[in-house]
Amino acid sequence: MPLLAGLPPACLCAAEPPWLEISANQRFLVTAEGEPFFWLGDTAWEIFHRLDRDEAARYLEDRAARGYNVIQAVALAELDGLDDPNPYGHRPLIDDDPTRPDERPGPDDDYWDHVDHVVAKAAECGLHVALLPTWGDKWTGRHGRKIFTPENARHYGRWIGRRYRDASNIVWVLGGDRRADREWQREILRAMAEGLAEGDGGRHLITYHPRGGDSSSEFFHAEPWLDFNMLQSGHSRSGTNYGMIAHDYALEPVKPCFDGEPAYEYPADEMPPDRPANHNGALEVRRRAYWGVFAGGFGHTYGTHAIWQMHDAGREPRWGVVRPWHASLDLPGSGQMVHLRRLMTSRPFLTRIPDQAIVAAAPAAAADRVQATRDGRSGLRDATYLMAYFPGPVSATIDTTVIASPRLRAWWFDPRSGEARPIGDLENTGPKEFTPPAGDDGGDWVLVIDDAAAARRPPGGP
């Protein structure tokens, strides 16, 4: 049954999205009031370009109802976004000139009016928009038409920054699936970042979306305009992301980091019959999410191929998708991501650190990685909770003595359902071996252990 069945329209009750800032310890995003913000994103790259207003509302309401709080979208879109008009026959620029956005009188008469409407609808649904001013082909020329120079990039950045200066739900994302290997490319991006800050007064955070297998840290970690690192771990079924997150987490100066484009959910029935069934199902999606967050990520982004391109009848599919975007909204993994958000926010969040030393003994295979996180300070045994993600039916020895309490309370958390199963109270006498319950779909589970004296609610609960 679709998740939306029986639920009120999400946009009628969502609070206006808060302004976002970097936390005092430089590890997380927080609201202007200092509350933790767990980024749960979805890639909707083509929403401005391919969906009309009713379709966009359907998508946004669905994602809000499923617990997402960010959508990632592109103004100058990837799929022929300069020449192919949006559903209302509008294009974004005059003569492909970034200094000449095609603005016309009236509230519903141009491409940018439509972008305004979608951004406002997202805000009504309580959603932030991680907004790419342009896809990467337009500043590199790779697989597209290069239209940007440092001069017009600054002008365009200033213009779009000013346009959304007062929108609390914007986060700027430069890049667009490209490397910035060359200095002339970095000059264009620096100029665009400077223009954005001039236009919006520096009110919004800025990051960078790289090519698969890369992180923004490779090109811009030390740049003052880069507020946090985004990596794209890639779409391989056998890939991992915990090593990339650990690398960025260890960098100086300290900046928040997360996986902004991992393996997309691509189940067998999404693929054409003549393609091998080497797909990413819900298990692979969950593995990237829990590995990445437990390794130090402040949030995570989900995606699926039909939705990022907003594929529908009459369009040439990319990556061989066969179902339209609206038939792909309720893939299993897409509805399971909210359990991660609820789990992480059910325990102290802004004091959380990765701590792989908790895992005293575990399988060595990359796909069997048991990833651990806890609160407290690195090198000290001052935790009040720990969590360990078991990606399958494997056993691991966990050093519970990082928790400064003689008595523990333990749970198994099911990342498929969000259910917490009590293990019971334990004496904190030293490392203990744990084996998750038997389960289907690979049997991944999260071990959650609390200081029993904290008397916390079940993990993931309200």
Domain's final residue, options 323, 345, 367:
345
Q: Are 307 and 374 members of one domain?
A: no
State the alpha helices, DSSP H only, in 229-382.
242-249, 282-294, 305-308, 332-345
Answer yes or no: are the C-beta atoms of 177 and 141 closer than 8 Å: no
Q: Are 437 and 340 members of one domain?
A: no
Answer yes or no: are the C-beta atoms of 273 and 350 closer than 8 Å: no
Q: Are 370 and 315 members of one domain?
A: no
Q: Are 153 and 183 members of one domain?
A: yes
Instruction: Look at residue 274 in the predicted model and tell me its pLDDT.
Output: 66
Q: How far is CA 417 from CA 1, 264, 421, 447, in A?
A: 14, 20, 11, 15
3-class secondary structure, 338 = helix
Instruction: Look at residue 270 in the predicted model and tell me its pLDDT.
Output: 73
Q: Are 180 and 107 members of one domain?
A: yes
* Helix axes of 111-124 and 53-65: crossing angle, nearest 10 degrees: 30
Q: How many structural domains comprise the chain?
A: 2
Answer yes or no: are the C-beta atoms of 265 and 304 closer than 8 Å: yes
Residue 2 included in any domain: no
Residue 1 included in any domain: no
How many CB atoms lie under 10 A from the CB of residue 221? 17
The secondary structure of residue 432, as a DSSP letter, is: E
434, containing H or E segment = strand 432-434
How many CB atoms lie under 10 A from the CB of residue 94? 11
Answer yes or no: are the C-beta atoms of 192 and 156 closer than 8 Å: yes
3-class secondary structure, 379 = coil
Q: How far is CA 235 from CA 183, 241, 262, 284, 333, in A?
A: 28, 11, 6, 10, 15
Q: Are 25 and 96 members of one domain?
A: yes
Residue 29 included in any domain: yes
Q: Are 284 and 379 members of one domain?
A: no
Q: What are phi and psi of 334, to 5 degrees?
A: -65, -35
Answer yes or no: are the C-beta atoms of 79 and 181 closer than 8 Å: no
Domain's final residue, options 345, 364, 388:
345
Q: Are 74 and 185 members of one domain?
A: yes
Instruction: Look at residue 1 in the predicted model and tell me its pLDDT.
Output: 26
Residue 142 buriedness (CB in 10 A; 0-12 / 13-18 / 19+): middle
Contact partners, residue 182, CB within 8 Å, separation at least 6: none
How many CB atoms lie under 10 A from the CB of residue 48? 27
Q: Are 386 and 341 members of one domain?
A: no
Answer yes or no: are the C-beta atoms of 245 and 286 closer than 8 Å: no
Sequential pLDDT tens for the chain (462 residues):
233 333 345 565 567 899 999 999 999 999 999 999 999 999 999 999 999 999 999 999 999 999 999 999 999 999 999 999 999 999 999 999 999 999 999 888 999 999 999 999 999 999 999 999 999 999 999 888 999 999 999 999 999 999 999 999 999 999 999 999 999 999 999 999 999 999 999 999 999 999 999 999 999 999 999 999 999 999 888 889 999 999 999 999 999 999 999 999 987 777 777 665 458 899 999 999 999 999 999 999 999 999 999 999 999 999 888 899 999 999 999 999 999 999 999 999 999 999 999 999 888 888 899 999 999 999 999 999 999 999 999 999 999 999 999 999 999 999 999 999 999 999 999 999 999 998 666 689 999 999 999 999 999 987
Residue 88 included in any domain: yes
Instruction: Look at residue 5 in the predicted model and tell me its pLDDT.
Output: 35
Find the CATH number of the domain harbouring 314. Answer: 3.20.20.80
Beta bridge partners of 373: 354, 387
309, containing H or E segment = none
Q: Are 359 and 339 members of one domain?
A: no
| Cα 246 from Cα 258, distance rounded (Å) | 10
Instruction: Look at residue 108 in the predicted model and tell me its pLDDT.
Output: 87
Residue 369 included in any domain: yes
Answer yes or no: are the C-beta atoms of 249 and 295 closer than 8 Å: yes
Find the CATH number of the domain harbouring 404. Answer: 2.60.40
Residue 460 included in any domain: no
Beta bridge partners of 266: 280
Residue 449 included in any domain: yes
Q: Are 306 and 341 members of one domain?
A: yes
Q: How far is CA 51 from CA 111, 230, 280, 308, 387, in A?
A: 12, 26, 26, 11, 40
Q: How far is CA 435 from CA 147, 283, 420, in A?
A: 56, 18, 15
Residue 4 included in any domain: no
Instruction: Look at residue 319 in the predicted model and tell me its pLDDT.
Output: 86
Domain's final residue, options 283, 316, 345:
345
Range of the domain at 424: 352-454
Pairing of strands 385-390, 445-451: antiparallel
Q: Are 422 and 446 members of one domain?
A: yes
